[in-house]
Structure 1
Amino acid sequence: MALSKEVVKKVAISYAYVAIWISLSFAVIVYNKYILDPKLYNWPFPISLTMIHMAFCSSLAYLLVRVLQVVEPVTTMTREFYLKNVVPIGALYALSLWFSNSAYIYLSVSFIQMLKALMPVAVYSLGISFKKETFRSNTMANMVSITLGVAIAAYGEAQFNGFGVFLQLGAVAFEATRLVLIQILLTSAGIKLNPITSLYYVAPCCFVFLSLPWAVMEMPRLIQTSSFHFDLLVFGTNSLCAFALNLAVFLLVGKTSALTMNVAGVVKDWLLIAFSWSVIKDTVTPVNLFGYGIAFLGVAYYNHAKLQAMKAAEEAKTAKAGQGGDEEAGKLLEEKESKNGEEYEKKSDEKN
Structure 2
Amino acid sequence: MDQALLYQILISYTYVAIWIGLSAGVILFNKYLLSVYGFPFPIALTMIHMGFCSFIAILLIRVFKIVESINMEVETYFRAIVPIGALFSGTLWLGNAAYLYLSVSFIQMLKALMPVSVFLVGTLFGTEQYSNKIMLNMAVVTVGVMIASYGEINFVLTGVLMQLASILFESSRLTLVQILLQRRGMKLNPITTLYYIAPACFCFLSVPFVLIELPKMQESVDWNFDVTIFAANATVALGLNLAVFLLIGKTSALTMNVAGVVKDWLLIGLSALLFHQPVSSVSLGGYALAFGGVCYYNYLKLKDMQAQPPSRLEEGSQQKP
TM-score range, shorter chain: over 0.9
Pairing 1:106–2:104 present: no
**Number of residue pairs the alignment of both structures matches:** 313
Q: How does 1:107-126 map to 2 (within 5 A)?
A: 107-126=102-121
Give the corresponding residue for 1:68: 64
* 2:12 alignment partner in structure 1: 14
Cα–Cα, structure 1 residues 317 and 43, in superposed 2: closer, same or farther, change >3 Å?
closer
Q: What per-residue deviation string (whole Å, max 9, x for no partner) do you get for residues 26-64 of structure 1? A: 000000000001xx1121100000000000000000000
Query: Partner of 1:34 in structure 2?
Result: 32
Provide Cα deviations, 1:221-263, integer angstroms capped at 9, x if missing partner.
1112335453011100000000000000001111111121111
Counterpart residue number, 1:59: 55
Deviations 1:299-332 (A, max 9, x none): 11111122222222256989xxxxxxxxxxxxxx
Is the contact made by 2:40 and 2:223 (CA closer than 8 Å) also made in structure 1?
no
What corresponds to 2:239 in structure 1?
244
How far apart are the structure 2 equivalents of 1:308 and 1:111? 30
Out of 174, 178, 184, the position equivalent to 1:179 is 174
Matching residue of 1:43: 39
Identity among equivalent positions (%) equals: 53
Structure 1 residues 317 and 258 mapped into 2: Cα distance closer, same or farther (>3 Å)?
closer
Contact 2:38 2:223 in 1 (8 A): no
Say what the alpha-carbon RMSD is for the aligned residues. 1.4
Q: SS state of the match for residue 158, structure 1?
A: coil
| 1: CA distance, partners of 2:278 / 2:300 | 33
For residue 25 of structure 1, the aligned residue among 23, 43, 46 is 23
Corresponding residue of 2:195: 200
Structure 2 residue identity aligned to 1:69: K
> Is residue 38–residue 224 contact of structure 2 (8 Å, CA) maintained in 1?
no
1:89-108 CA-partner distances (Å, limit 9, x unpaired): 00000000000000000000
Q: Which amino acid aligns with 2:87?
A: L
Stretches of structure 2 lacking an aligned partner (at least 5 in a row): 314-321
Structure 2 distance, partners of 1:229, 1:289, is 35
User: Which AA in structure 2 matches 1:242?
Assistant: A
Q: 2 CA distance for matches of 1:43 and 1:308?
A: 45
Give the greater-gyration-radius structure (CA). 1
Q: Distance in 1 between matches of 2:131 and 2:156?
A: 34
CA distance in structure 1 between the aligned counterparts of 2:213 and 2:170, rounded to whole angstroms: 23
**Alignment partner of 1:218 is 2:213:** yes
SS of residue paired to 2:213: helix
Match of 2:154 in 1: 159
- What residue in structure 1 maps to residue 317 of structure 2? none
Which residue pairs with 1:283 in the alignment? 278
* Secondary structure in structure 1 of the residue aligned to 2:37: coil
Separation in 1, partners of 2:309, 2:281: 41
**What code does the residue aligned with 1:182 have?**
V
TM-score by length of 1: 0.87
Contact kept, 8 Å, 2:148 with 2:284, in 1: the verdict is: yes
Counterpart CA distance in 2 for 1:70 and 1:154 is 46
Pairing 1:305-344 to 2, within 5 Å after superposition: 305-313=300-308
TM-aligned CA distance change 1:247 to 1:316, over 3 Å = closer
The one-letter amino acid paired with 1:243 is L
Counterpart of 1:22 in structure 2: which amino acid?
I
Mapped to 2, the partners of 1:269 and 1:92 lie a distance apart of: 23
**Residue pairs, 1:134-145, within 5 angstroms:** 134-145=129-140
Distance (whole Å) between structure 1 residues aligned to residue 309 and residue 231 of structure 2: 44
Question: What per-residue deviation string (whole Å, max 9, x for no partner) do you get for residues 55-75 of structure 1?
Answer: 000000000011111111112
Q: Equivalent residues in 2 for 1:79-98 (5 A)?
A: 79-98=74-93
Please report how far the alpha carbon of residue 279 of structure 1 lies from its aligned counterpart in structure 2 after TM superposition. 2.5
Deviating above 4 A after TM superposition, structure 1's stretches of 4 or more consecutive aligned residues are 314-318
Aligned pair in 2 of structure 1 residues 145, 215: CA closer, same or farther (>3 Å)? same
Distance 2:229 2:142 in 1: 37
299-308 or 263-272: which moved more?
299-308
Gaps of 5+ in 1: 319-352
Query: Do the aligned partners of 2:39 and 2:225 also contact (CA within 8 Å) in 1?
Result: no
